[in-house]
Amino acid sequence: MGILVKPDTKVLIQGITGSFGARHAQLSIDYGTQVVAGVTPGKGGQVFEHHGHRVPIFDTVAEAKKQTGATASAVFVPPAFAADAILEGVDAGLDLVVAITEGIPVNDMVKVKRAMEGARTRLIGPNCPGIVTPGAGKDSQGGCRIGIAPGYIHKQGHIGVVSRSGTLTYEAVWQLTCRGVGQSTCVGIGGDPVNGTSHLDVIKMFNDDPETHGIIMIGEIGGSAEEEAADWIRQHCRKPVAGFIAGATAPPGRRMGHAGAIISGGKGTAAAKIAAFKAAGIGVATTPSEMAETLLKMM
Amino acid sequence: MNVHEFQAKQLLAQHGVAVPAGEMCDNPESARTAAEKLIASGHSRVVVKSQIHAGGRGKGVFKSGLQGGVKVCSNPEEVFVNARAMLGQTLVTKQTGPEGRVVNKLLIEAASSIKKEFYLAVLLDRAVSRPIVMASTEGGMDIEEVAARTPEKIVKESIDPAVGMMPYQARKLAAALGLKGELIAAGAKLTLGVYRTWWELDATLVEINPLCLVEAGGKESLIALDGKIGFDDNALYRHKDIQAMRDLNEEAPLEIEASNYQLNYIKLDGNIACLVNGAGLAMATMDIIQHFGGSPANFLDVGGGASEEQVAAAFKIIMQDPNVKGILVNIFGGIMDCNVIATGIVAAVRETGLNLPLVVRLEGNNVVAGQKTLAESGLTLITGDSMADAARKVVKAVTA
């Protein structure tokens, strides 16, 4: 069920003793996610306790993986140390590293991407809300939540959601859940100009996932990742896709919050992305209030 | 973050890029002295260049009526007269918008005898997550126009970040620009210097337009006649010297205040202020206001996990924009408690004595308590059930 992570995925948290990492480790444990290890250099041997759960802390990702069998990691370490933390997860041979950290220097990520060429690890993010594969319990508990998304807004089901933005993802998920429609997996790929996984990478996985029956793709101004995904969808995607592009009113040359959300050199406009969506047969929501409705009409 | 041309040239020079002799001056007397020095050292003409964070300065017009933000002068007195006419005046260019920018600084620089103009830039190629170096024989032109009309005149080298720009790549670009003989090595050296400036300083863009082939005393050389650098804000923590180059005169006062509270605020021209959590949702909120016939006054992202204090600070900032006729608050409280946000809104409205239409759309964690707090506050605010409902209501309230 779903892509990238399943309810039994064993998760470790890099930066579990920081306030941000600790808070979201607790929320993931409450959600029923298998949080099996924490990593904080120098605090190996300590234990992270929450509601009777005892999560061992290790000095290195390699040791955490060896001792617990964790296959996925959430990175909550501060921006200056995040590139190092990501590559430590890659070196340990994890299947998945999800970098939540916002504010990593672009050139650090350029180096990370280069160093990851040929590696088995998939990186999601940085500057992203993470991944949720909803569970079957009340408020979708029992699922796998890696990152900072609110678990309770989800519902187990068959719609895949991929987005660069956090709160706009929650908006789409909530619209679905309020209509009684569940999600297979929701993936926030992050708002930075250099990220580990693109819209297209996730769309391909949804296309191959038998549990996913329809897709919501949310993009924003800047870059051309949405156009690339649209072009592939036009030729290969067998499932209905609805989309929304944020930033139609954004002035050129200004960064709209996300480091990657900038129209530069006349490229990356909302108009161009919407045109690419339409050309690919993607249902375009005219307002962000209609993302779920647009998809459901197509199904 | 952006810097002035004179600062960009200092940084380029530190990385081995040849730039014209010159210095920054902020009063007419020092401009004259700088010109005297340049002429005494053998330069026949001196250029006075307005320093603002916007392009199109040469063809710009001062609100005083003076034509051109860049003037070539042949003696120190002429430099003095032009400096006096420019400093403190507002220069309007195609990039400043009609309000223009006040010129507080001038670059007094040796004029060059230009034989040919080129274009050179380094930026991030987002499609492959690698740096790319671009060069063109069409120097001095708007590169976007060149790219649209004659893309074959732009040559590119993709850089492997594991090894950096190799000299052969710089030589290929120099040769593609038609440089010959010793100028190939000179062009390659300059290009490598520009690349190193981009990489080592964590720039988002380094643009040399024009890069010039100049002649002095019968000898040809290459020189960066203009320089523009933008920096990655996320990397400024490791470049204290560049942080010190920030010029607050070039930034909107409200944007500076917002940055002090870690708020992402960008002022726009409309009359409906928005206060939103999350960058994507903030953009989408601007879009939906426009969709229903309104016009957003700002982009404002209080962050995915905004605090009560940040909401209060955000209110004070948007209220300072005199164009604002109504406010739309759109919060999707995923993890954070909507009641905390509601309490923050009520406190901010009371403290600021808000008397404009305020539409609030709250959704998410503990939303029922949040709505109750708003309803029991006694404030005349309008609630929206969805983004669309809230946007419609605020547009109606403002146009009524």
Q: What percent of chain B has pLDDT over 70?
A: 99
B378-383 contacts, C-beta under 8 A, 24 or more apart: B379/B346, B379/B349, B379/B350, B381/B345, B381/B349, B382/B357, B382/B358, B383/B359
Question: To the nearest whole angstrom, how far is the Cα of B257 from the nearest Cα of chain A?
Answer: 16
Q: Is the pLDDT of residue B305 over 70?
A: no
In chain B, the residue whose alpha carbon lies closest to the alpha carbon of A113 is B129
> Contacts of residue A186 in chain B, CB cutoff 8 Å?
none
Residue A40 confidence (pLDDT): 97
CATH number of the domain at B252-399, please?
A: 3.40.50.261
Q: With an 8 Å Cβ cutoff, are B204 and A106 in contact?
A: yes
Mutating which of B126, B265, B300, B338 best tests the A interface, going by the most A Cβ atoms within 10 A? B126
Q: With an 8 Å Cβ cutoff, are B161 and A218 in contact?
A: no
Q: With an 8 Å Cβ cutoff, are B147 and A106 in contact?
A: no
Q: With an 8 Å Cβ cutoff, are B279 and A165 in contact?
A: yes
List pLDDT tens digits, range A241-251.
Answer: 999 999 999 98
List pLDDT tens digits, range B331-371.
Answer: 987 777 888 888 888 888 888 888 899 999 998 888 889 99
From the CA atom positions of chain B, what is the Rg in Å?
A: 26
CB B324 within 8 A of CB A286: no
Total number of residues shown for chain A: 299
Q: With an 8 Å Cβ cutoff, are A164 and B280 in contact?
A: yes
CB-CB neighbours of B251 under 10 Å: 14
> Contacts of residue B302 in chain A, CB cutoff 8 Å?
none
- Domain residue ranges in chain B: 21-110, 114-242, 252-399
Active site residue B207: yes
| Continuous H helices in chain A | 19-31, 61-68, 79-91, 106-115, 166-178, 199-208, 225-236, 270-279, 291-298
Write the residue in B162, B282, B386 that is nearest to A289 by C-beta.
Answer: B386
> Contacts of residue A152 in chain B, CB cutoff 8 Å?
365
Question: To the nearest whole angstrom, how far is the Cα of B246 from the nearest Cα of chain A?
Answer: 17
CATH number of the domain at B114-242, please?
A: 3.30.470.20
> Contacts of residue A149 in chain B, CB cutoff 8 Å?
334
Tokens 């010039």 found at: B212
In chain A, the residue whose alpha carbon lies closest to the alpha carbon of B295 is A249
Q: With an 8 Å Cβ cutoff, are B288 and A105 in contact?
A: no
Q: With an 8 Å Cβ cutoff, are A256 and B282 in contact?
A: yes
List pLDDT tens digits, range A22-44.
Answer: 999 999 999 999 999 999 999 99
> Contacts of residue A104 in chain B, CB cutoff 8 Å?
234
In chain B, the residue whose alpha carbon lies closest to the alpha carbon of A268 is B126
Q: Looking at this protein, which amino acid is placed at residue A292?
A: A
Q: Looking at this protein, which amino acid is placed at residue A164?
A: R
Question: To the nearest whole angstrom, how far is the Cα of A278 from the nearest Cα of chain B?
Answer: 18
For chains A and B, what is the number of CB pairs under 8 angstroms?
177
What are the structure tokens assigned to B249, written together? 């005169």
CA distances for B307 relative to A27, A177, B336, B339, B341, angstroms? 19, 27, 8, 11, 7
Q: With an 8 Å Cβ cutoff, are A249 and B278 in contact?
A: no
Q: State the average pLDDT over residues B277-304.
A: 93
Q: What is the mean pLDDT of each run of 10 residues along chain A (299 residues)?
A: 93 96 95 97 97 97 98 97 98 98 96 97 96 96 95 96 94 96 97 96 98 97 94 96 95 85 84 95 95 97
CB B210 within 8 A of CB B226: yes
In chain B, the residue whose alpha carbon lies closest to the alpha carbon of A129 is B304
DSSP string for residues in B277-310? SSHHHHHHHHHHHHHTT--B-EEEE--TT--HHH
> Contacts of residue A107 in chain B, CB cutoff 8 Å?
161, 199, 202, 232, 235
In chain A, the residue whose alpha carbon lies closest to the alpha carbon of B302 is A257
For residues A88 and A82, give the distance between their C-alpha atoms in angstroms, rounded to a whole number. Answer: 10
Write the residue in A152, A153, A247 that is nearest to B283 by C-beta.
Answer: A247
Q: State the average pLDDT over residues B148-165.
A: 94
Tell me the β-bridge partners of A295: none
Question: To the nearest whole angstrom, how far is the Cα of B52 from the nearest Cα of chain A?
Answer: 16
> Contacts of residue A255 in chain B, CB cutoff 8 Å?
233
Superfamily for domain range B21-110:
ATP-grasp fold, A domain (3.30.1490.20)
Write the residue in A107, A163, A222 that is nearest to B235 by C-beta.
Answer: A107
Q: With an 8 Å Cβ cutoff, are A150 and B364 in contact?
A: yes
Q: What is the pTM of this model?
A: 0.94
Residue A161 confidence (pLDDT): 98
More confident of the two residues B305 and A183: A183
Q: Is the pLDDT of residue B45 over 90?
A: yes
> Contacts of residue A244 in chain B, CB cutoff 8 Å?
284
Write the residue in A105, A165, A257 that is nearest to B232 by C-beta.
Answer: A105
Question: To the nearest whole angstrom, how far is the Cα of A52 from the nearest Cα of chain B?
Answer: 22
Q: Is the pLDDT of residue B306 over 80?
A: no
Question: To the nearest whole angstrom, how far is the Cα of A45 from the nearest Cα of chain B?
Answer: 30
What are φ and ψ of residue A190, in 5° steps? 100, 155
Write the residue in A114, A164, A193 that is nearest to B126 by C-beta.
Answer: A193
Question: To the nearest whole angstrom, how far is the Cα of A238 from the nearest Cα of chain B?
Answer: 25
Q: State the average pLDDT over residues B173-184.
A: 96
Q: With an 8 Å Cβ cutoff, are B335 and A150 in contact?
A: yes
In chain B, the residue whose alpha carbon lies closest to the alpha carbon of A192 is B126
- B316 membership: H or E segment, kind and range: helix B308-319
More confident of the two residues B94 and A214: A214
Question: To the nearest whole angstrom, how far is the Cα of B197 from the nearest Cα of chain A?
Answer: 13
Q: With an 8 Å Cβ cutoff, are A246 and B126 in contact?
A: no
Q: With an 8 Å Cβ cutoff, are A166 and B304 in contact?
A: yes
**Does the N-terminal peptide bond of residue A126 adopt cis geometry, omega within 30 degrees of 0?**
yes
DSSP string for residues in B236-270? GGG-HHHHTT--GGGS-HHHHHHHHTT-EEEE-SS
Residue A96 confidence (pLDDT): 98
- Give chain A's domains with CATH numbers: 10-124 (3.40.50.720), 155-298 (3.40.50.261)
Angle at B65 between CA B59 and CA B71, to 5 degrees: 45
CB B179 within 8 A of CB B212: no
Tokens 């209060």 found at: B312
Given the residues A24, A158, A199, A258, the one annotated as active site:
A258
Q: State the average pLDDT over residues B45-59.
A: 94
Given the residues B119, B157, B195, B265, the one annotated as active site:
B119
DSSP string for residues in B80-107? HHHHHHHTTPEEE-TTT-TT-EE---EE
Q: Is the pLDDT of residue B304 over 70?
A: no
Q: Is the pLDDT of residue B308 over 80?
A: no
CA distances for A247 relative to A56, A220, A269, B155, B394, angstroms? 43, 6, 8, 31, 19
Q: With an 8 Å Cβ cutoff, are A105 and B202 in contact?
A: yes
What are φ and ψ of residue B125, in 5° steps? -90, 100
In chain B, the residue whose alpha carbon lies closest to the alpha carbon of A104 is B234
